[in-house]
Amino acid sequence: RRFLQGAVVTGTVAAMQHHQAVRRLAWQTLGQHGPKPAKKIVFKGPGMLRGLSSLPNADLPATGPLAGLRVLDLSRILAGPSSTMLMGDMGATIVKIERPGGGDDTRRYAPPYIQKKEGEDSDLAAYFVSCNRNKQSVAVNYTKPEGQAVLHRLLETSDVLVENFKTGTLAKYGLSYDQLKDKHPGLIYCSITGFGHTGPYSKRPAYDMLIQAMGGSMSITGEPEGEPMKMGLSMFDLTAGLHAVIGILAALENRRLTGLGQHVDVAMLDVSVALLQNQGMNYLAKMQRQARVGNSHPNVVPYQVMKSKDGHFILTASNDEQFERFCIVGDAEELLQDERFNTMKARVVNRVHVTQVLNDVTRKHTTAWWLEQLERENVGCAPILHLDEVFADPHVQARSMEIKMDVPGCDQPVSLIGSPMKFSETPVNYRWPPPRVGEHTDKILAEAGYSPSQVTELCNLGAIDNLKNGPQSVGRA
């Protein structure tokens, strides 16, 4: 692609339109007839494919809406890799740049490891697998000038660069946005950091738990009399990755109109503050600290964990009509005449008493009884599931949220978490299993115009690694 200031070259638009037509044809062909695979392809859910990596080289045409987009992925660990995997699932070509030998740090975030066969670990860390499918790995030592030259060559055909190094790190190697933007004016350069590229904390490193603490979420999570509590997920790594994808897509739309790229600066702390949303506004409304309410909701009662005869369940009677139906189901209609219960505001003001009385009501029956009766009356409720129950849930399975891919080194197809994005015309597909370090170095460099002798020379200089010097572990160091 070539870009002119203020306008997109006409040929680019024509090329993209042609590619979209080819992509639609490819998907129709796959959906109707299927290619000739090395192993059987199993369909799972509407428009979703399992076992795609069974095909030779896993080199299927991308069917998603981002097919044709090329992303140079310099990120590692979770925030950046999660964002690039989302784009890879949606069809983008993701070239993952890794350190020769060691690769992404999460290759060593284990155990657990993916199972080679029942009862036997592979050398592939489950953490790495969680956010690195649909990527091709190129091992480049960009601390060397020759490695930097390789990245500059790859940038010539890249639309997007994603990185999540501390602010200023890549500038040491001539790879900051300011150092690249003149040579690559159409490049979308996305940085995901803890604190952003401006401000007094910009040079600090960050981890998800630090951001949960500094962004306020820990202060409002946990039991009222307990200690501050972190969430069970790496929430702000993952949501920073989501915001990165949103920012990249917006910048691509602007480039479509102007021909110009830009820097997308996503900070985990900014994301954590933005996601305070209603809780943050509860503070800003009166400038008063919010007390922790445990598993309850600060503005709605009951909206919480409830005790049953044999365990617990979730009750979310989020308006007066649902609360009335709950009382009828629970044979507690007298509460509707009590001024502490009969309005949403009253239930919040009298939270402690209301919660105690309602728990006395819900203890009378089993969880299964409550779920059946409340669902029948359209009152919000849910079981509290363990992960084995989640992945066994028929709805989760029907939505293809568990997929299978053939992974080199594993005897059986490996279960992975599917994409939550379901497109009617341009479905996601799963083309590449999580790669070994440098597995695709030769392929990608050949596509970039390097000859075999040039690749060998770069290997001898220590600028790249193409796995020709002996086996490497994909997981364990």
CB contact at 8 A, 78 and 194:
no
Which of 237, 265, 270, 442 is labelled catalytic? 237
Residues 6+ apart with CB under 8 A from 193: 164, 165, 166, 167, 202, 206, 265, 266, 267, 268
Give the contacts of 249 (CB within 8 A, at least 6 positions apart). none
**Cβ-contact 80, 241 below 8 angstroms:** yes
Three-state DSSP state, 267: strand
Rounded Cα distance, 456 and 1, in Å: 28
Asked whether 213 and 224 are in contact (CB, 8 A), the reply is no
Is residue 81 within 8 Å of residue 434, measured between CB atoms? no
Please give the helix or strand (H or E) that residue 283 lies within, else none.
helix 277-286
* Closest by CA position to 360, among listed 326, 313, 309: 309
User: Long-range contacts: 6-11, Cβ < 8 Å, 24+?
Assistant: 6/258, 6/259, 6/260, 7/258, 7/259, 8/255, 8/256, 8/257, 8/258, 8/259, 9/259
Q: Classify 143 as helix, strand or coil.
A: coil
The terminus-to-terminus CA distance of the chain in angstroms comes to 39
**How far is residue 126 from each of residues 102, 149, 189, measured CA to CA in Å?**
16, 33, 29
- 270 catalytic? Reply is no
Strand partners, 4: 7
CA proximity to 259, closest of 16, 68, 9: 9
Amino acid (1-letter code) at residue 271: V
Distance CA 22, CA 419 (A): 23
**Active site (catalytic) residues:** 237
